[in-house]
Structure 1
Amino acid sequence: MPGDEIEVPKELREFMLEGAEETFLGQKNGANKQYRYGNLHIREYDEKFLVHTDKIDPRKDPVGHLIHDAPEILIGLACAIYGGSQITKKLNTNSKKKSITTGLLSSIITGYLGYAATKKIKKYVE
């Protein structure tokens, strides 16, 4: 099932699939490196590998991957845009500098809150 990770201790087996490509796509979650092999997402840590299967390979369909495998990112972005703009409108500062600062700060906060909440909900749904 997507989202379930398999842990492979390095002491048990040092492995890497032939043809797996190192990638920046995906959340590293503290990993030293991460790789993709089709729908497999492999994270390499000092002592282990964590492997899970994504529904959609982000290299082939980035939007589909965000929708099906990482909706928290899309919701975080939507919250940042909407929340930041609404808070900035409500505060209605006369200073352009304050308005930009307020908009940026409120976007970061509301975006993170939307992202974090969706990530927690996603854990319980899977």
Structure 2
Amino acid sequence: MPGDEIEVPKELREFMLEGAEETFLGQKNGAKKQYRYGNLHIREYDEKFLLHTDKIDPRKDPIGHLVHDAPEVLVGLACAIFGSSQVTKKILNNNSKKKSFASGLLSSIIIGYLGYSATKKIKNYWE
């Protein structure tokens, strides 16, 4: 949630909460590392830390986190699955299986990304 993030410049204060765990969960957004401390999500960059609070800790409830904090990921996955299945069906009627796999994969990436991007823009607009 870009609007809700707090920036802490490293020159002002180099810190890390005791008990914060480095994690791969979450979008890095160019960060060197990211940490979780309960619902607190901390991203570390060269010059600063960015912090925000998630509604749901993804380590405890990954699906709940996706639904409440990152719905764009679910929409992107749904678009990728549905879109590629439709493209693959059309291609299977006309071409070989080799072409259908490549086209299905490419279409799932493109359609999934479009769904993800559109949902993220809508989410950011409403925040």
The question of a shared fold, defined as TM-score above 0.5 by the shorter chain, is answered with: yes
After superposition, the CA RMSD in angstroms is 1.4
Q: Normalised by the size of structure 1, how large is the TM-score? A: 0.96
Runs (4+) of structure 1 moved beyond 2 Å? Answer: 90-94
TM-score normalised according to structure 2 size: 0.95
SS in 2 for 1:36: strand
Aligned to 2:118, what secondary structure does the other structure show?
helix
Structure 2: stretches of 5+ with no match in the other structure = none
Mapping 1:46-125, distance limit 5 Å? 46-91=46-91, 92-125=93-126
Counterpart AA for 1:7: E
Aligned length: 126
Partners of 1:75 and 1:3 in 2: CA distance? 21
Structure having the larger proportion of residues in helix: 2
Shift in alpha-carbon separation, 1:2–1:39, aligned structure 2, 3 A: farther
Distance 2:81 2:3 in 1: 27
Task: State the secondary structure of the residue aligned to 1:55.
Answer: coil
| C-alpha contact 1:2 1:55 (8 A) present in aligned 2 | no
Q: In the alignment, residue 111 of structure 1 is paired with which amino acid?
A: G
